[in-house]
Chains A and B, each alone.
Chain A
Amino acid sequence: MSLRRWSVTLLAAFVALLTTAPLLWMVSVSFMAPGEAAQFPPPLLPADPTMANYHTLFGSFGIGRFLANSLLVSTLATILALIFTIPAGYAFAKLRFRGRDATFRLLVAALVVPGQIGMLPLFLELKAMGLVNSYAGALVPWLAGIFGIFLVRQYCLSIPDEMLEAARIDGASEGQILRRIVLPILTPIIVTLALFVFLGSWNDFMWPLIVLADQNLYTLPVALAAMSREHVQDNELMMAGAVVTTLPVLILFLALQRFYLSGLLTGSVKG
């Protein structure tokens, strides 16, 4: 039995190493001197670790600007998505109003439609509203998060009606019930949802590519894609750029993985 335990665990370790190798390699190469990685066989560790690529990135490339853009867009997208989604999810689960179930069924059906279908008209719509080429334009799709409503609703269904009813009898308004009773119960799902939106908007590429034309407004992925077209040969520099782009979300995920994985299952399997 012990042999079996060892061999299975060893296999898992091997697969895990293979899976994380590209990320480890990215970090390692980002500390190499320019040109060092372009050898055969490819070196795995920097001979003489250097911060030179990061200095170039934050110096002459001004990646700090894109980092700040990404932070701003993702933070605002997260806050706004929570403000729009949480009350709606709660209302669909717990408040009785006419048309509620029919509306919710429509929303579930709309989940099948990928957002890219409406991208061209959305671009024209935002152009008419004067939001093209602005931070606001980049975060607009995150306000329309059907999945978030779905997630919050699913979680709210487990709140006992008696609890809300008791608060109503005590004279609490619906708004007070949401703030004082429901929100504290929802804390775990709020963390999950915030994590989803933050990671989603941080990693998003196609929409910011379309809507942001001004280089000063670029988010990290858009800036990195543009940079990678100009600097194909600068292997080490590009790896440093990839580290700056992806490390923040990777760390955020590792710190809050419990919330992320539990939300993932609520959304896909029970759905």
Chain B
Amino acid sequence: MSAARRVSEARAGWAMSSPALAAITLFFVFPAIASLFLSFTDFDIYALANLDNLRFVGFQNYARLIENPLFWKAMTNTLLFVALGVPFIVALSLFAAMLVNSRWLAWRPAWRVALFAPYVTTLVATAVVWRYLLHTRYGLVNYLLSLVGIAPIDWLGSPNASLPAILIFVGWKTFGYNMIIFLAALQTVPRELDEAARIDGAGWWTRLRHVTLPAIAPTVLLVSVLTVAGMFQLFAEPYVMTQGGPAQSTVTVLYFMYEEGFKWWNLGSGAAVAFLLFLCILALTLVQLQLAKRSGAI
């Protein structure tokens, strides 16, 4: 290849990638880094009106957050979402994937699409739908529960039930996505392996634990990491379904950040929340990767 052609190829490479790189720098990288700097200022509604009012305050925003009970409420709520939601959603998705992957299943593509459909629906629209499904008196969910003799639950109105209620909605909305990922992994597990275990008399649970799960362990980890990240990004769900209530039982970190930033216009404090959120996601992801390495999954 001639030198001239190599130069023109390199020039084309930069020309084709620089618009996207410029946009990423301007609208993604720069704001993310600026968030850290913003968190060390007292940027508020006065600074918004006139930048002369902006002061550097060091770690003051962080110190105030640590003393703010609502911040801790948002943190514990989010950790609850992770602790309850990740096992729930991973199990739900894996069950759906195994069902759709079953060798005895007829019309497989139809079921796959039906189970995936909630994932592509508009979050706000289906959150509105679920608010009515979860209605204490007229909701379909309580009606179905009444058929098996369970008394009506005040899903969105009681501080104990509101978080599980949102989790049910989130599980319904997202399990199809994880199911597709699990399906791809399950298809790489040789049927003969499962068949051999079955002939040896291993039951369904034993085969799941000793044949299927070890074979798809990296995928279980991948789905868990994705779900953890998803739990940290809950916002529209509480915004539409509960407005963070009742008794702040569904205020998530992102919801708290939104209120700090765009309801009270404490942008400095909101940026501090954003940065802490980033650290949490990073830490949890690293911990999970570490766990996986130790157990030999990767």
Contacts and interface: CB of A to CB of B under 8 A. Distances in A.
Nearest to A113: B32
Interface of B: 1, 5-6, 8-14, 16-17, 19-21, 23-24, 26-35, 38, 43, 96, 99-100, 102, 104-107, 110-111, 113-118, 120-126, 128-133, 137-140, 143, 172, 176-177, 180-181, 184-185, 219, 222, 226, 229, 232-233, 235-236, 239-240, 243, 254, 257-258, 261-262, 267, 270-271, 274-275, 277-278, 281-282, 285
14 contacts: A5-B104, A9-B104, A12-B100, A26-B125, A38-B138, A84-B20, A97-B14, A117-B275, A121-B271, A174-B8, A221-B122, A221-B125, A246-B121, A250-B121
Contacts of B114: 16, 19-20
Contact of B138 (A42, A115, A121): A42
B180 A264 contact: yes
B132 A235 contact: yes
Interface stretch (A45-53, A56-64, A87-95): A87-95
Interface in A100-129: 100, 103, 107, 110, 112-125
Contacts of A110: 24, 28-29
A119 B261 contact: yes
Given A15-B99, A174-B9, A253-B117, A40 B137 contact: yes
B239 A225 contact: yes
B180 A261 contact: yes
A121 to B, nearest CB: 4
Given A8-B105, A269-B181, A119 B274 contact: yes
Nearest to A118: B31
Name the interface size band of chain A: 35 or more
B128 A228 contact: yes
Interface string A137-169: 000110111100100000000000000010010
A87 B185 contact: no
